[in-house]
Amino acid sequence: MRLEPRTETGLGLKLAAPLAAIAVSFIVAALLVLIGGASPFAVFAAVIKGAAGTQFALLETLTRATPLIFTGLAAAVAFRARLWNIGGEAQLYAGAILCVVLGTGALPLPAPVLLPMIAAAGFLAGALLLLGPTVLKTRFGVDEVVTTLLINFIMVLFVSLLLDGPLKDPMGLGWPQSKKVIADAVWPKLVQGKRLHWGFVLAILAACAVWFINARTTFGYEMRAVGFNARAARFAGIPVNWVMAKTALLSGGLAALAGVSEVAGLKGNLTLDLSPGFGYAGIVVAMLAALHPLGVVAAAIFVAAMFVGADAMSRSVGVPNYIANVMVATALLTMVAAMLFTRFRLRRG
């Protein structure tokens, strides 16, 4: 048996890959639940009910999905050009820092001016944070996987320094935290009395914008060409280094918007546990979506539903919520295998 490249990949096969990955993840989870002595049907019913069974549950799922859409888009944009951005966590915190710096009263501006200014500043902070490793990659051949990964740890230490120093809330007790952003810097809620905010709408608009860039612009074509074969793209006259720089700016900025949305839309201040790993989870989301920006929205909602539903399920059924981690990890692994078979077919001989 040998792998043979496919001449073309049909739409049906592309759609079947993520569905197969999700199906396998449910099968694996069901086996683990059976081994644990519980009913898979009861567990999955509790997960679905906890994720979407009520208005509150559905809105919580969409709230959890909001930062995942931003970080998933960031990974999808970068990976399409073969820029392996593993620094989504650092870029998220960069956006959060700028949100706190500008949103706690430094700019006495009305909300219609202040909100887009904070979002733009956060976007720029994340963009520049990824630009550095990208320049090191294109100019000196430094592996961006290493540099972006290390920046994650550096940023966490930097945030800790800020929360113990210039950004520390003097009225805060116990856990280090920044001051709350002012009312004019808070993103409005989509549903009165619930946590879902306008960051979700911005995330959907960002996904549509990335789709348009990929499908309808020269920049999108250049990203695909560089990702497919950078040497051939350079031979064809495409400015590879400049395309990589623009890709880095877009990817880093999108990840930073996740931090802005968590501070301005949800938490109201900066803490060390602002992100429970949204930057890393965004990579899973991007892979489940096969790097398609609109698929990122669906994949982010799926991942968010698993975690929100598992939390509710663990309280009602008694099965540990770690089953969500198993399902997401299994879906990622099977998605990688499925993507392999969308590009290759097995041949005898």
Alpha carbon distance 138, 244 (integer Å): 8
Reference 323, options 23, 18, 36; nearest CA is: 36
pLDDT in single tens digits along all 349 residues of the chain: 676 776 666 667 777 777 888 888 889 888 988 887 888 888 889 989 999 999 999 999 999 999 999 999 999 999 999 999 999 999 999 999 999 999 998 888 899 999 999 999 999 999 999 999 999 999 999 999 999 999 999 999 999 999 999 999 888 666 789 999 999 999 999 999 899 999 999 999 999 999 999 999 999 999 999 999 999 999 999 999 999 999 999 999 999 999 999 999 999 999 999 999 999 999 999 998 989 999 999 999 999 999 999 888 887 777 787 887 888 888 878 877 777 777 777 676 5
105-114 in b/e burial notation, b at 16+ Cβ within 10 A?
eebeeeeeeb
Residues near 337 by beta carbon (within 8 Å), at least 6 away in sequence: none
Alpha carbon distance 201, 66 (integer Å): 9
Q: What are phi and psi of 347, to 5 degrees?
A: -125, 145
Question: What are the tens digits of pLDDT across the range 103-133?
Answer: 998 888 899 999 999 999 999 999 999 999 9
Residue 163: strand, helix, or coil = helix
Q: Provide the pLDDT for residue 159.
A: 96
Q: Are 76 and 286 in contact (CB under 8 A)?
A: yes
3-state helix, strand, coil in the chain (%, to 5): 70, 5, 25
